[in-house]
A and B are shown apart, each in its own frame.
Chain A
Amino acid sequence: EPEVTQTPSHQVTQMGQEVILRCVPISNHLYFYWYRQILGQKVEFLVSFYNNEISEKSEIFDDQFSVERPDGSNFTLKIRSTKLEDSAMYFCASSELGGRGTYGYTFGSGTRLTVV
């Protein structure tokens, strides 16, 4: 079964450093997403992306965040200057044709970001 692949699985970074989280969505999917889950809390939407543009972003997705699809396969989330409160699990997801098909989303296994 096709998978969404995220790398790395765990990243530790110092406060103020830039990090890039990487995702390889399912190849025929058109819509891409990032979500965040602070430990013990609910999963929160960050941003959706389609046709090389941001479709929607949440209040969390401020100027410190950016997304990019640098080639035909990767989808990245960049945090420019990390803060302690950015420590969380970050999930990438992708969907085809806006979620049609058997179900709307396929999630990756997540990247645990720890800011120290």
Chain B
Amino acid sequence: AQTVTQSQPEMSVQEAETVTLSCTYDTSESNYYLFWYKQPPSRQMILVIRQEAYKQQNATENRFSVNFQKAAKSFSLKISDSQLGDTAMYFCAFMKSFQGAQKLVFGQGTRLTINP
């Protein structure tokens, strides 16, 4: 079974700083998908970024980028020029494939606070 671990329960940075959230996972699959979801106080689940394991290039989405280390099974999220609106819970998630109905396996989450 797949597992996802986020070792940082909470993080706090000043506005405009760069912050990196860590995620490790365990799987025997060779092709899979990794995601970062943001959950603001409204508790909506918002997709931030995704990475396909077969792609060597790290995904980027505006101020958000990932550092995907397949051999180390590591998938960290970097937020550049952090903004107050980035304050939220961030969940790392794993999906085995895009074939059929596939569940997402989530980590425990990291509560990120951006201070003014």
Contacts and interface: CB of A to CB of B under 8 A. Distances in A.
A31 B98 CA distance: 11
B44 A110 contact: yes
Contacts of A42: 91, 106-109
A78 B36 CA distance: 29
Chain B interface, >50% SS class: loop
B100 A45 contact: no
Contact of A43 (B33, B91, B95): B91
A107 interface: yes
Interface stretch (A15-23, A47-55, A62-70, A79-87): A47-55
Looking at chain B, what size class is its interface with the partner chain?
20 to 34
A81 to B, nearest CB: 25
Contacts of A112: 43
Contacts of B107: 42
Contacts, number: 73
Contact of A98 (B50, B91, B99, B108): B99
A109 interface: yes
A50 B106 CA distance: 22
Interface in B97-114: 97-109
Given A41-B108, A99-B95, A107 B103 contact: no
A100 B98 contact: yes
- Name which of B33, B43, B97, B99 has the most chain A CB atoms within 10 A of its CB: B43
B47 interface: yes
Given A50-B101, A104-B98, A109-B42, 8 more contacts: A41-B108, A43-B91, A43-B106, A45-B104, A89-B43, A91-B45, A103-B50, A109-B43
Interface of A: 31-33, 35, 37, 41-45, 48-50, 55-56, 58, 89, 91, 93, 95, 97-100, 103-105, 107, 109-110, 112
